[in-house]
Structure 1
Amino acid sequence: MSDASILRPSGLAHVVFRTANIKPLVDFWSTFLGAERVFENEFIAFLRYDEEHHRVAIINDESTGPHSATAAGLHHVAFTYDTLQGLIKAWKLREKLGIKPTWCVNHGPTTSIYYKDPDGNSIETQIDNFDTVEEATEFMTSKFFRENAVGTDVDPNELLRRLEAGEDEKALKKRVEIGIRHDIPAAV
């Protein structure tokens, strides 16, 4: 529900992480996103991968402790690709760099591949499975989504094989229905 008296923002500008291990985190995020380091010193780094001056910032804060999976707060940050081919290509390139996913799933509205950074922050890479917001919203109000808002696990190797065999992306993005599911894997 929205409040008509609030002017909505035009977009999400950036995310900022605090860490006691700035160098490994900056190295990871630069590699993970193929990002340019716009500015970096021993205290802070600003990274960009698109038209924005920075999308990710990392602050060195020696007082931070290890990531706790049970702490309240941000669960993950998500980055989108335009095509399934792009999502799978990015997954394959990350695999070659030793960056392995923690979970691969077709949520219905999106097909997503999740990762963890060196501090344990969760990252989602995803594509939209529907051509319009209206179609995605219609699916999210359907019986199938009420029954399973988590999704159906997918194998990116299988998606790659099927893409290379010439299967249509639209068909590959259609979620296989498995019935009731309400569990998000602990690794995410």
Structure 2
Amino acid sequence: MAETSILRPSGLAHIVFRTGDLSAMVNFWKSFLGAETVFESDIIAFLRYDEEHHRVAIIKEEGLTLRAGPTAGLHHVAFSYNTVGELLMAYKARLSKGIKPAWCVNHGPTTSIYYKDPDGNAIETQVDNFDTVEEANAFMTSSLFRENPIGTDVDPDILLERLEKGVSDKELKIRVEIGPRLDIPANL
């Protein structure tokens, strides 16, 4: 029997979290994304940060427990920026609000800054390091990526300093090769 082709979605519409503390999660995500509330009640909130009617929904449920350690399921959600400058300006703005990153890394295909929300959900903010999908795919099939599919840790403050000194976006995106690495930080 021939496999039926599935019509692919045109985009990712939204993400939904469930929480025991709706207020803390809504406040965090509004601050984190610079989002606005579209609708909020005692049990649900819808947030938007772009042209979509909502990108994040948060549902309050009673009796939930926070993660006590690694569990199976969704690892993180990711949000893209157009340039390293935008990624770093967002990092700087979040830092001024007391939102500190959990991990900063140049994966190769992306430069990424990870955070945690009040419920422990991991969030990636990232910029693509290659101008085309073909270039990214070529890197991801290279021996360098096979040796280190995780990436090289980076210091966003140093990247910010270099950016402010006029170092180009393209140069800031180059991954420093450190050899084999297969470990993702335990705090993610």
Q: TM-score, normalised by structure 2?
A: 0.97
Conserved 8 A contact 1:30-1:37: yes
Q: By how many angstroms is 1:63 displaced?
A: 2.2
* Residue 177 of structure 1 pairs with residue 149 of structure 2: no
Letter aligned with residue 11 of structure 2: G
* Residue 10 of structure 1 pairs with residue 15 of structure 2: no
Take 2:185 and 2:40, find their aligned partners in 1: how far apart are those partners? 35
Conserved 8 A contact 1:108-1:151: yes
How many positions carry a matched residue from both structures?
Answer: 186
- Kindly report which structure 2 residues correspond to 1:19-34, keeping only aligned pairs within 5 A, or say none: 19-34=19-34
Letter aligned with residue 47 of structure 1: L
Letter aligned with residue 9 of structure 2: P
* Residue 54 of structure 1 pairs with residue 23 of structure 2: no
**Deviation string, structure 1 residues 59-82 (Cα, Å, up to 9, x no partner):** 000121112432110000000000
Partner residue in 2 for 1:98: 98
Take 1:141 and 1:69, find their aligned partners in 2: how far apart are those partners? 32
**Deviation string, structure 1 residues 123-156 (Cα, Å, up to 9, x no partner):** 0000000000110000000000000000000000
- Kindly report which structure 2 residues correspond to 1:116-135, keeping only aligned pairs within 5 A, or say none: 116-135=116-135
* Residue 77 of structure 1 pairs with residue 71 of structure 2: no
Partner residue in 1 for 2:150: 150
Root-mean-square deviation (CA), in Å? 0.9
Take 1:159 and 1:70, find their aligned partners in 2: how far apart are those partners? 30
The alignment partner of 1:54 has SS state of coil
Q: By how many angstroms is 1:187 displaced?
A: 1.3
- Structure 2 residues not aligned, in runs of 5+: none
Q: TM-score, normalised by structure 1?
A: 0.97
**Deviation string, structure 1 residues 3-24 (Cα, Å, up to 9, x no partner):** 6611111111000000001100
Take 1:88 and 1:4, find their aligned partners in 2: how far apart are those partners? 43
**Deviation string, structure 1 residues 74-101 (Cα, Å, up to 9, x no partner):** 0000000000000000000100000000
Letter aligned with residue 130 of structure 1: F
Take 1:69 and 1:8, find their aligned partners in 2: how far apart are those partners? 34
Take 2:162 and 2:186, find their aligned partners in 1: how far apart are those partners? 28
Partner residue in 2 for 1:112: 112
Letter aligned with residue 162 of structure 2: R
Take 1:19 and 1:183, find their aligned partners in 2: how far apart are those partners? 29
Letter aligned with residue 153 of structure 2: D
Take 2:134 and 2:89, find their aligned partners in 1: how far apart are those partners? 28
